[in-house]
Amino acid sequence: MELRHIKHFVLLAEVKHFNKAAEILNITQPSLSKSIQRLEMLIGGQLLNRDSKSVSVTALGQVLLKHGQKILKEFEEMEQEVTLFQGFDEKELRIGASPIPSNSLVGPIVGHFLREFADISVELKVAAWEELYQQLIYGDIDFFVAETKVTELEKSELLTVTELPPFKVIFCCRPEHPLTQLPRLYLPSFRDYPLAIPRHLPKSIADAFEDLFKQQREDFSGMVRFDQFHPIKESIINGDLIALTPEISVRSQIEKGALVELSPYVMPLIYARFSVVSLKEKSHSKAAEGFIKFLVNRAETVKLEAPELSSSERSASERSIAEASVSELTV
């Protein structure tokens, strides 16, 4: 059995038409038919049901199709690995990112990257870390950027994790919110207003705020649990919703005056910790290495540009710095 037999069969099973498959493979229809017949002889059974308009896969064909797809994928990955080992760069870079780092870290550097790597095509996929992890394992992306502490991705023996600087997590609201008028702000005051928090907020962090994020409390005032922060920004700007989110995700809105940071007295100091995640056994192309360097520089620059802690935040930090379990936020 030859690899080309498997390739011909898999493609034919997917497009379900001899002429179309032959055209894609750039061979004649009779050559494709002979290839399939040879494969059926080697397998010892019929792989396809044929009629004048299309073909369908038999039960035996389904078995071969499942394994054939895996074989072709493994072969493609082997070719990529050998190419990288020999020092050749791929011309396509496939990057994944969860929503916040895609907007704040990855997106802003693409233009700068392409000035240095003008012959590279960049594909950016935005999704939750679970989906990005699956895409990385199956070879659909070269690396991704997401939170790795709480997700425990950093513990995987399959992955290489390059940590980026941590970013402070804050409460924010509109400038005219009633809480901004209080002479001194405490967390219990938040109980009177609807809250927005990440859907996968770790229990260790939620518990640090006692029952503030629990729907069962008697004075519950509504809550939004979000995967992506962008869709709820307008609700925060135009209503009384209070959001808990990494400062980096709302920095531009705060600088423009559309949102303000709320700094309650004795608030736990928590951080979002993003990392670059890649497969340990897969080599990076020069383009991938270059993009990661741009990414690290971007994260360090954004970190340096972050507003300094206020005096009340420093006091809160002194009280909460020992709370090791309350130091990460997944977003």
**pLDDT tens sequence for the chain (331 residues):** 889 999 999 988 888 888 888 888 888 989 999 999 999 999 999 999 887 677 889 999 999 999 998 998 888 888 877 766 555 556 889 999 988 899 889 999 999 999 999 889 999 999 888 889 888 887 888 899 988 776 677 777 788 899 998 888 999 999 999 999 999 999 999 999 999 998 877 777 888 888 899 988 888 999 999 877 888 889 999 999 999 998 988 998 999 999 999 999 888 888 888 999 998 877 788 889 999 999 999 999 988 877 654 444 444 443 333 333 333 444 4
Burial label, 70 (beta-carbon count in 10 A; 0-12, 13-18, 19+): exposed
- Describe the crossing of helices 3-15 and 59-85 by its angle, rounded to 10 degrees: 120
The pLDDT of residue 314 is 44
Q: Residue written as tokens 């990529």?
A: 80
**End-to-end CA gap in the chain:** 48
CB contact at 8 A, 98 and 331: yes
The pLDDT of residue 324 is 31
The values of phi and psi at residue 272, to 5°, are -95, 135
The values of phi and psi at residue 116, to 5°, are -90, -30
The pLDDT of residue 16 is 87
The pLDDT of residue 317 is 40
How many DSSP H helices and E strands does the chain contain? 12, 13
- pTM for the full model? 0.62
49 SS3 class: strand
What letter represents residue 71's amino acid? I
Which tokens in the block code for residue 188? 């219990």
The candidate with the shortest Cα–Cα distance to 96, out of 303, 302, 291, is 291
Sheet holding 121-126, edge to edge: 121-126, 92-97, 143-147, 274-279, 159-163
The pLDDT of residue 17 is 86
The pLDDT of residue 96 is 94
The pLDDT of residue 148 is 78
The rounded distance, in Å, linking the Cα atoms of 67 and 149 is 35
The pLDDT of residue 327 is 35
